[in-house]
Amino acid sequence: VTDEQRFAELRSRLQEVDDLRKATWVLHWDLETMMPPGGAEVRAEQLGTLAGIAHERFTVDELGELLEALRGYEGELDYDSDEASLIRVARREYERARRVPAELRAEMVRAGSHGKQAWLRAREANDYAVFRPALERNLELQGQYIECLDGTADPYDVLVAEYEPGLTTADIAAVFEELRDQLTPLVTALEPPEEPPLDLGLSDRESRAAVDRVLARLGFDRDWGRVDTSVHPFMINFGTRDVRLTIYKEGGLRTVYAALHEFGHGLYERGVDPALERTLLAQGASGALHESQSLLWENLVGRGRPFCDWLARELGGVDPQALYRGANRIERSLIRVDADPVTYSLHVIFRFELEHELVSGALAPADLSEAWNSRVADYLGLAVPDDLRGVLQDMHWSDMLMGYFPSYALGHVASAQIWERASADLPQLDEELARGEFRPLAEWLRERVHRHGQKFTTPETMERAVGGGFDPEPLLRVVRSKLNSS
């Protein structure tokens, strides 16, 4: 058996696993956007079965033996080559996955499905207590999961490694502490805005039509993508040429910016080198890198003056200055996904702190709603009136996405770093954006970030994108500039 044959077998096995995973994603997407409620129970079983089989196929001994046998071959290849990267990343994921029994994985998927339903019921009742049992179950399973993996300095490190390969809890805490120390005095000093939120006067249908026009101009092509509605917007894709965005059913400026956010995620997946299709490299490098792309389009393109000028013309009959002010309305608020770029990071930082405490056991689920409300009071100076505007606002903890929140703020940090770099490389960028020409920026992002997919770790990808690690300074420069101009 030659190394080339071994590699071909590895690739073929990984393609099969990728097909299974993407099939699971199709079922998830359908559950969120299309499925009648009666389908929930059987769907949870289907998702559990598929995830279990994907895990089983990914963790067979033969795959480990192939990875072992290919060490020499890998060493001869360029580190950056698709082949070496596939072996390297597959080995990292294999070693991680081998320690977690298929039954636990399947149970986590099932619990995620059930948790999601419980979260939706709790939201309807506006009562965290309805969701608490599901959260307790999720934490119990999360704990079992962490136990399966190496005893790291901090149990939360296991979750960090899942979304941000190459980083630790301590790395993240260092970035967040600087951000928090700089932001807190600025945010607590914020006066309520004088103007009410901008009302574009668009119906739901008109907003949807506007979103469709804006996305088309941005280059979101119905040949490789589609847009639907769901409770919470998201992006998911089943191949580099099948990218699904969802937006809110309700219209308004918020929906336009949520669409920009999900577009950023979708463009990343679309930009992955097609040579990586049907492998685990055909996806964004990490949560933070993914969020850097969504936040770049939402905040740095979308809330910039040039884009607002273009958007005002595109919407017709909207004053550009009013639109710009409306899009940059800074206000301490209760809902993370509606937060402005100034206060946003603090929303994420206290979620990181809370879930870190939940995972370490320092905080009991019974106390979570109160802990949430007290953190909002301390950091944002706001009183949380009910769970819907508090602890029930995000679906992550219902769906086993514990550990993902830090990626949002890291992505926020990275988005400003990448934006500064792109602006330096593309001297005409402002003029292009003002004319609604988005291709030069999209191509720059593809070249610097998207095409690599998951070939490299979070720090390695940052190195290729901006020539260094996470640095909160560019984001703080954006924040200060927004505060000075308002």
Give 468's contacts (C-beta < 8 A, 6+ positions apart): 417, 462
- Cα 11 from chain centroid (whole Å): 27
In the complex, what is the shortest distance from the CB of residue 23 to a second copy, in angstroms, rounded to a whole number? 5
> How far are the Cα atoms of 159, 217, 218, 382 from residue 442, in angstroms, in the given order?
31, 12, 9, 38
Active site residue 262: yes
Burial of 432 (0-12, 13-18, 19+ CB in 10 A): middle
CA distance 275 to 38: 40
Q: Please, are residues 444 and 465 in contact by the beta-carbon 8 Å criterion?
A: no
In the complex, what is the shortest distance from the CB of residue 421 to a second copy, in angstroms, rounded to a whole number? 30
CA distance 308 to 328: 10
> How far are the Cα atoms of 192, 336, 409, 445 from residue 422, in angstroms, in the given order?
33, 27, 20, 8
**Alpha-helix residue ranges (DSSP H) falling in 126-252:** 128-148, 156-163, 169-188, 204-218
Contacts 24+ apart (CB under 8 A), 253-256: 253/197, 253/198, 253/200, 253/326, 253/327, 254/338, 255/207, 255/208, 255/211, 256/207, 256/210, 256/211, 256/214, 256/311
In the complex, what is the shortest distance from the CB of residue 453 to a second copy, in angstroms, rounded to a whole number? 15
Q: Which residues bind a second copy (CB under 8 A)?
A: 15-16, 19-20, 22-24, 26-27, 30, 34-39, 41-43, 45-46, 48-50, 53, 222-226, 238-239, 241-243, 277-278
Q: Tell me the three state secondary structure of residue 486.
A: coil
Residue of 32, 262, 291, 298 marked active site: 262
Nearer to a second copy, 15 or 184 (CB): 15
Q: Which two tokens stand for residue 100?
A: 């977690």
In the complex, what is the shortest distance from the CB of residue 18 to a second copy, in angstroms, rounded to a whole number? 9
In the complex, what is the shortest distance from the CB of residue 118 to a second copy, in angstroms, rounded to a whole number? 18
In the complex, what is the shortest distance from the CB of residue 9 to a second copy, in angstroms, rounded to a whole number? 15
Q: Which two tokens stand for residue 192?
A: 């309520």
Q: Please, are residues 126 and 390 in contact by the beta-carbon 8 Å criterion?
A: no
Where are the strands (E) in 238-337, listed by range? 243-247
Nearer to a second copy, 73 or 224 (CB): 224
In the complex, what is the shortest distance from the CB of residue 46 to a second copy, in angstroms, rounded to a whole number? 4
Q: Which residues are catalytic?
A: 262
